[in-house]
Chain A
């Protein structure tokens, strides 16, 4: 009996892992596709990481949770540390479709070169967004230091 539950639990975990892998793959495809033309990032200031934030006027979690989290992050990092680009997905449905936005809020982490590096479907807290920005920037710093060592 217990062995059966364990085997069924393991099978469930395997199915969930497969689902998460597909989810990760879809996110990668969205980022790769969005990174080709970088529509909506025309006003991006180079050298400063950014968050592209898709929202709508009707979105309650955007208003009550996502926007305050972004405001807190912006206050922490300052204008020289982060730029937040807010897009009304209802007013710009073509841009939302281009970025593969299925629901709001959706946030994209954009590195200092303007490349989309992470995507979050749903609300993300201040610390989670900060961690993602730090990871992206850390990767960039590591790549640069490796390049400098090669030179």
Chain B
């Protein structure tokens, strides 16, 4: 196992994914491009602060009331941050397209983020993390972390 692993609460990551999916679906059904833009903004802010964008709801509401139990695993935070940042960029591009009147590519990008977040939430596969580890394998500068021992790229540590 890598010595520089940090303790990551995967319950906070799952809460984040749940809110990204729920609010993005609501944005689509209610035809609210600003909601998709707001979700992208919260994700981007979370990425810059190094935390899950909607993690504050987990920390302030779910965790104190024990509605969601912590699931702390030794893991690399960088791939999750990269995945969230990538999702924010895609969602922001989608929202921009929607504001520009390009509904089909705009909502298509929103649904892409929904699909990838759902894949992570229900399937346990983080596509953004997998991309991060592939870039590490290709020795791209800045992508310095390797998957935790025994874990495949994109899958949670076992």
Contacts and interface: CB of A to CB of B under 8 A. Distances in A.
Interface stretch (B36-44, B88-96, B117-125): B117-125
B3 interface: no
Contacts of A81: none
B118 A64 contact: no
A93 B152 CA distance: 9
A4 interface: yes
Contact of B122 (A58, A97, A121): A121
Interface in B56-87: 69-74
Contacts of B100: none
B29 A93 contact: no
Contacts of B25: 12
Interface in A46-78: 56, 58-61, 64-65
Contacts of B157: 56, 58, 90
Pick from B11, B69, B111 the residue with the most CB of A within 10 Å: B69
A122 B71 CA distance: 13
B152 A97 contact: yes
Interface string A7-19: 0110010010001
Contact of A89 (B30, B72, B74, B158): B158
Contact of B111 (A5, A15, A60): A15
Interface residues of B, number: 25
A54 B156 CA distance: 14
A104 interface: yes
B108 to A, nearest CB: 11
Nearest to A104: B158
A8 B31 contact: yes
A103 interface: yes
A102 interface: yes
A23 interface: yes
Nearest to A94: B150
Contacts of A19: 115, 118
Contacts of A90: 150, 157-158
Shortest beta-carbon contacts, A-B, top 10: A103-B124, A102-B124, A89-B158, A90-B158, A60-B71, A93-B150, A8-B29, A56-B158, A9-B29, A58-B73
Interface of A: 4-5, 8-9, 12, 15, 19, 23, 56, 58-61, 64-65, 89-90, 93, 96-97, 101-104, 121-122
22 contacts: A5-B29, A5-B30, A8-B28, A8-B29, A12-B25, A12-B28, A12-B29, A15-B111, A58-B73, A59-B71, A60-B72, A61-B69, A61-B71, A89-B158, A90-B150, A90-B158, A96-B158, A97-B152, A102-B124, A103-B123, A104-B158, A121-B123
